[in-house]
Amino acid sequence: MEAKPIVTCHGDQTIFSSLHPTLVQTLPKETTEWRRSYGRPPKTVHIEASFVPYDEDILPKETDKTLVSRPYFHVFWADADLETYKQTAKEELTEWHTALKNNNIPDWLIVVVSNDDSKAKTKLLPRSSVIDKVKNDFCGKQPDRCISITDPLKQEQKGQESWTALLQRLRNLLLQAYNRHLSKYEENMRLMRERRNEPGWGFIQFFLIQEELAFMFEMLGLYDDAMIQYDELDALFSQFVITKVSGTAVPWLTNNFLECKSWAGISLQKAINRDRRDQIKDNKASLIEFRNYLFSRQCALLFLLGKPSEVSRRAMEFLYNTVLEVIKLKISVIPGALDCWSFVSALEVLQTCEKYEDLYNPELFYLYRATLWDHARKKLYSLGELCGLMPEDDVQPRSEQLTMVLDLTSGMGIAEENDAVIEGNQPRPRDKLREALSSKDSFQKIYLELLEQAMGTFKHIGRYRCARLITKDLALFYIRMGHPEKAENYLSEAVKSYHQEGWSQLSEGTRLDLARCQDKLKNKHKFLQTAVYIVSSLTLPEADRRQYLERLYEEAKNNTEASPLKASPLITVEEMAFSKPEVYINHVVEVELKIKNKAPCDISCDQICLSFSQVKSSQIGNNKPVVSRQASDTSLTENVANCRPISKPTANMIPLQENIEGSLKSPVLCGVSCFQSKELLRRVDSAGSKTVTKQPVVKKDDYALCISGQDIILKPGENVIVLSKKIDKVGVFRTNQFWVQIGNIELIKTIDVQTSFTSSYHQPHCQISPTCRDKLIMGIENEVELSIENSNLNLETGQQLEIVTSSDLQVKTSDESRFLTIDEITKDKSLKFNFTLYHDIIESESIDFMIKIACDRFPQPLLTGVTFVSPLLASHKVHTANKRKYLQIALEGHSESNFTLQDPTASTTNKDVEFICLSKLDQKWNVYKSQRVSYLWELKCNTESVMSLPVFFHVNYICSLEQKQRKFSYTCQVDNFRTQYHVRVTVTPQGENKQCQMSVLSCMKIEVTSMYSNYTEDRVLYRVDDDSFWAVSGKSAGLLNIANGHGSIEIDVMAITAGHLPLPRVTLYQYKENIEIVKQESLDSETPPSPSPQKTFQENLLPFQQGQVYYASIAKQVHVYPNSINSHMEAVIDNKLTDVKI
């Protein structure tokens, strides 16, 4: 409010004019504490004033009741010049003071301004200055009403101090004047309010008086106090309306208030609508106009207080209360007028609030604004329904609806000055409403804008529940527009929101709209699933439920493809129990189901199935009889749409199951688990309504293993049915899924609390044994007997058993096949069969086979084992005589039975080698257990390049058990059989000795000759083996170079004993580069050799293959004589050490 308290100025206008700008600028700079009467808390205010020239005609009278326009204070400005005071100022001051006194005005101040204070002091005598005379003449009893100042325009300290004193005096006196006038004004207003029930009392007059007080507080900057005045007026007026509605007469509510010829919305473009206030003052304003003015004043003060969120909050109360007052007072308005007023008023508040920001409560600010957007779009929708602007193609506005549009637009009022557009070039609310009512396209565009604005604002502040409540109206509007594909997702979200909030009636009602939408989209699967929910609803009318049940029957009959749907909540399994937790194979298992049908009538089911699957025994906690029960109201957990939940529902019970790995007596691991953990712990999605709804996929289980029943009728409520099936498999089975078939509609329900049963059988004893002997022999046909104890297997004559073995084990039955036919079953339910088994002789002593006996009645094949023993074992050996080679093949008997061998042959694939048999080929040999037969061949090789030779040996044999000639084969490989080196060792006496003597060094010569014709430079290693007859002096091993096919080395040796001693044994080894020759210390040295850091010589020796080296001296001896003949001596006789006395 731009008005300020009025202060009159009289006296020397020249002085006042020079000080006026400074006074107006500095007066409100500092705050002043205002202590009010009636114990009210003190206020800190900034004092402002409007200084006007004094005129006796504007002085207020005692009967003047105004606050804003009256002068509150009066100031007289006088010059400090004494002569001027005596000539003119005193007379003028006397008239001024007399006029104030005559009007009983005590609020005044005389200001004496001195331009040269020092000059005045030198010329004037004490007590003779202007200020003293003024005090004596006019301020005898009120000295504070006169003040002297030095010209403040001069930048002097004394002048500034006097100016500050003037400002402080003026502020205090002004507050005293305000307080005196306000106290008197408030007292008169209180008395007038107390007389409100007296005849002739008028609210409008009281309203204007209290609003004057509000204006006064607003001028002082006390916006809170000003707001209180309007709130009191608002409450008082509402109380009068309630009194009027209750039947009590309220005379001042004239026809002007009870008539409504204009429904122009509220205008917040001006702080005070003077025209509207004049209408109220003249009793020409209607109730809507009065309410518009009162609320606009409240909004103006709230904006000054920095509370735009409070404006938005009060706006909703204002709109609802005003409409309610119009309805209760039965004010006659044309249809749609109140909707127009509400729409325009809501948009006016919204557009004005966009200029402000609430830094303290931003979330509430946007919440109230979103509520206003939603209110505006509801009123616009109501106007569209009324004026025929709905988007249906087949609906056009009628003539009376067009006339109604004209009447409504004419009552909105005309544009005021500077009221055409607002910031951002947005149209004024009334212009926007006129545009929306002009055509269907404009209405549709503006309505969708408002709806998106409201929904987007709710989402922006996280009020997803409110946003989704709007989605239903948006969906229905899309359906009316002919776009059901856009409406489906919104309706699904609305159903979800209502459902989670526990609003079952709203949820099911919306589900009907969703079903009609899906029906228009020809989406049969979604429609049928929604129809299932509708049929099972207990809140919908029975007629609707029966209608959709008939649609289900119709679609089940007409559909060409199966439609899997979720069975719950239409059909639920309340309880499930198996008659026996464990049954034997080929026996009947029974399960009792308690099924609840929520349909309003009987349901004819073509088939009811319960699927189960085979699991591991460790996955089942125990096999006790379990009765599983699931909550009948399972629809609360169904996923209707993929949208962010308003609040995650808390499960009343957490379904748990026990898990035990291993056996119950010795468990490996045990515990409990929740099979719905993903559902209970799932993340709350933060996506908004634009998230694409994914229809939950109903996956049908594999019903290869199931228990089923045909042609079952489910009555409304609980039904108990028993399903049975003959079990032909062994194992642990767990229930998985429940399936109800109605025509081509399949209702599927996953079993949450799974139960299990066990099918078992006793494994029959199966054995294969030879009929004639204890063991099965390779190489001949063995007659065996198969015995099976039938046990609980219901085998019948004529059934066949299959013998499954490896490919190298030959089976021969009576019909030359692998199948055995049951001819007879003994009383003890055992079976016996005879057949033959044959396996070729192999190089192993025995071999085991696993034989399977399979039958379609067996849950799993029967297993038994047989062992074959080899009757003959073959071995080979190569012999060397210088360059000549001989191959010996020996056959040893390992069976009690007699085997006759004849016609041996040996061959090879190498044509350079010839086999010359040295045995009698036509001779037959009988071999029994532990007997050995050998065959000898000489190998003649025409070339020296043959290094490896494959040998194939065959011999015919006849067993005494079957008298049938068969062939025995043996294959071997002869490698490196050629003689490479010829080794000769000689021992001769040294020096003049003519014979070798004991304990005397002799010379041992080692000669190595290469047997190859093409001599090459070669190296070999030799080693003299440890011997109890000889001791080596020096190196016992070393490297020998072979040049031109010959190499030799001499070593000192000493015989330890006397007699005919075998020559020291010498062994040749192949030469390797990394071998380190180990030197042996002399015989006299007692210090052991230090260990080598490298590998020892013995560890690196690489021997030749058998037959590659021929030792020519291996059987020769040398005669060693003793040293003395007069003592006991040790001699070697027949290779034995003997003590001989000579």
Residue-wise pLDDT tens digits, 889-917: 999 988 888 889 999 999 998 888 888 89
Q: What is d(CA 454, CA 449) in angstroms, rounded to the nearest whole number?
A: 9
Neighbours of 650 (CB within 10 A): 6
Q: What is residue 349's predicted lDDT score, i.e. its pLDDT?
A: 93
Query: Domain 766-869, what fold?
Result: Immunoglobulin-like (2.60.40)
Q: Report the pLDDT averaged over residues 454-464.
A: 89
Confidence of residue 633 (pLDDT cuts 50, 70, 90): very low
Q: Report the pLDDT averaged over residues 837-865.
A: 85
Q: What is residue 948's predicted lDDT score, i.e. its pLDDT?
A: 82
Among 314-328, 784-798, 845-859, the minimum mean pLDDT is found in 784-798
Q: What is residue 827's predicted lDDT score, i.e. its pLDDT?
A: 66
Confidence of residue 680 (pLDDT cuts 50, 70, 90): low
- pLDDT at residue 637 tops 50: no
Confidence of residue 414 (pLDDT cuts 50, 70, 90): low
Helix (H) or strand (E) run with residue 508 in it: helix 504-520
Comparing C-alpha atoms, which of 609, 588, 611 is closest to residue 735? 611
Q: What is d(CA 641, CA 512) in angstroms, rounded to the nearest whole number?
A: 15
Please name the residue ranges forming H helices in 220-332. 223-245, 274-281, 287-304, 308-328
Among 106-110, 314-318, 999-1003, 1123-1127, the minimum mean pLDDT is found in 1123-1127
Confidence of residue 481 (pLDDT cuts 50, 70, 90): confident
Give percent of the chain with pLDDT exceeding 90.
16
Q: Report the pLDDT averaged over residues 271-300.
A: 89
Confidence of residue 233 (pLDDT cuts 50, 70, 90): very high
Q: Report the pLDDT averaged over residues 39-51.
A: 83
Q: What is residue 971's three-state secondary structure?
A: strand
Whole-Å CA distances, 132 to 129, 142, 854: 5, 13, 141
Q: What is residue 420's predicted lDDT score, i.e. its pLDDT?
A: 43
Among 152-156, 389-393, 641-645, 694-698, the minimum mean pLDDT is found in 641-645
Q: In terms of residues, how long is the chain?
A: 1142
Stronger pLDDT, 654 or 240, i.e. the higher one: 240
Give strand pairing partners of 46. Answer: 31
Name the burial class of residue 511, with classes exposed (0-12), middle (13-18) and buried (19+) by CB atoms within 10 angstroms of its CB: buried
Helix (H) or strand (E) run with residue 990 in it: none
Q: What is residue 693's predicted lDDT score, i.e. its pLDDT?
A: 44
Q: Report the pLDDT averaged over residues 100-117.
A: 82
Give strand pairing partners of 585. Answer: none
Comparing C-alpha atoms, which of 322, 316, 320 is closest to residue 290? 322
Average per-residue pLDDT for the chain: 81
**Which two three-digit tokens encode residue 763?**
């494994």
Residues 6+ apart with CB under 8 A from 520: 479, 484
Q: What is residue 733's predicted lDDT score, i.e. its pLDDT?
A: 86
Whole-Å CA distances, 302 to 227, 230, 231, 347: 8, 11, 12, 18
Q: What is d(CA 429, CA 409) in angstroms, rounded to the nearest whole number?
A: 12
Neighbours of 697 (CB within 10 A): 6
Q: What is residue 658's predicted lDDT score, i.e. its pLDDT?
A: 72
Could you give phi then psi for residue 771, rounded to 5 degrees? -90, -30
Comparing C-alpha atoms, which of 340, 350, 454, 328 is closest to residue 408? 340
Q: Is the peptide bond before 764 cis (omega within 30 degrees of 0)?
A: no
> CA 705 from chain center: how many Å?
34
Stronger pLDDT, 1132 or 1004, i.e. the higher one: 1004
Confidence of residue 793 (pLDDT cuts 50, 70, 90): low
Helix (H) or strand (E) run with residue 556 in it: helix 542-558
Q: Report the pLDDT averaged over residues 89-115.
A: 85
Q: What is d(CA 535, CA 552) in angstroms, rounded to the nearest whole number?
A: 9
Task: Please write the tens of the pLDDT for every residue from 962-998.
Answer: 888 899 999 998 887 788 888 999 989 988 788 898 8
Q: Report the pLDDT averaged over residues 670-691.
A: 54
DSSP label at residue 919: S
Give per-residue burial for 89-109: e unless 16+ CB within 10 Å, then b.
Answer: bbeebeebbeebeeeebebbb
CATH of 563-644+654-749, one of 2.70.50, 2.30.29, 1.10.3860, 2.50.20: 2.70.50
Domain range list for the chain: 6-194, 563-644+654-749, 766-869, 872-975, 981-1141
Q: What is d(CA 717, CA 236) in angstroms, rounded to the nearest whole number?
A: 60
Confidence of residue 342 (pLDDT cuts 50, 70, 90): very high
Dihedral over Cα of 373, 375, 381, 387: its sign = negative
Q: Is 34 left (phi over 0), alpha (psi -120 to 50) or beta?
A: beta
Q: What is d(CA 152, CA 574) in angstroms, rounded to the nearest whole number?
A: 98
Q: What is residue 882's predicted lDDT score, i.e. its pLDDT?
A: 81
- pLDDT at residue 1084 tops 60: no
- pLDDT at residue 12 tops 50: yes
The CATH number assigned to the domain with range 6-194 reads 3.40.50
Please name the residue ranges forming H helices in 727-821. none
SS3 for 602-650 is CEEEEEEEEEEEEECHHHCCCCCCCCEECCCCHHHHCCCCCCCCCCCCC
Q: What is residue 323's predicted lDDT score, i.e. its pLDDT?
A: 93
Question: Same CATH fold, 981-1141 and 563-644+654-749?
Answer: no
Whole-Å CA distances, 138 to 110, 128, 132, 541: 9, 15, 10, 94
**Which two three-digit tokens encode residue 921?**
């080929």
Among 219-228, 240-249, 568-577, 1007-1016, the minimum mean pLDDT is found in 1007-1016
Q: What is d(CA 599, CA 380) in angstroms, rounded to the nearest whole number?
A: 41
Query: Based on C-alpha coordinates, what's the Rg of the chain?
Result: 63
Q: What is residue 742's three-state secondary structure?
A: strand
Residue type, position 438, single letter: S
Q: What is residue 675's predicted lDDT score, i.e. its pLDDT?
A: 58
- pLDDT at residue 1127 tops 50: no
Task: Please write the tens of the pLDDT for every residue from 1011-1066.
Answer: 877 777 788 888 988 888 899 988 888 888 888 888 898 899 998 889 998 989 99
Confidence of residue 121 (pLDDT cuts 50, 70, 90): very low
Among 41-50, 341-350, 472-481, 663-672, the minimum mean pLDDT is found in 663-672
* Degrees to nearest 5, angle at CA 26 with 21 and 30: 165
CB distance 1023 to 1103 below 8 Å? no
CB distance 682 to 688 below 8 Å? no
Task: Please write the tens of the pLDDT for every residue from 910-950.
Answer: 888 888 898 888 888 899 888 899 999 988 887 777 778 89
Give percent of the chain with pLDDT exceeding 70.
85
Q: What is residue 318's predicted lDDT score, i.e. its pLDDT?
A: 93
Among 90-94, 156-160, 815-819, 1075-1079, the minimum mean pLDDT is found in 1075-1079
CATH of 872-975, one of 3.20.20.70, 2.60.40.1230, 3.50.50.60, 1.20.140.10: 2.60.40.1230
Whole-Å CA distances, 1050 to 174, 369, 997, 999: 146, 121, 18, 18
Q: What is residue 619's predicted lDDT score, i.e. its pLDDT?
A: 61
Please name the residue ranges forming H helices in 559-647. none
Task: Please write the tens of the pLDDT for every residue from 1085-1119.
Answer: 344 444 444 445 556 678 888 888 888 888 889 99
Sort strands 71-79 and 6-11 into parallel, antiparallel or unpaired.
Answer: parallel
**Which two three-digit tokens encode residue 9?**
């100025």
Task: Please write the tens of the pLDDT for every residue from 524-533.
Answer: 888 889 999 9
Q: What is residue 683's predicted lDDT score, i.e. its pLDDT?
A: 43
- pLDDT at residue 1142 tops 50: no
Q: Report the pLDDT averaged over residues 612-622.
A: 70
Among 41-45, 58-62, 527-531, 1087-1091, the minimum mean pLDDT is found in 1087-1091
Query: Domain 981-1141, what fold?
Result: Immunoglobulin-like (2.60.40)
Q: What is residue 1134's predicted lDDT score, i.e. its pLDDT?
A: 55
Q: What is d(CA 297, CA 310) in angstroms, rounded to the nearest whole number?
A: 13
Q: What is residue 1135's predicted lDDT score, i.e. its pLDDT?
A: 53
Could you give phi then psi for residue 51, rounded to 5 degrees? -90, 120
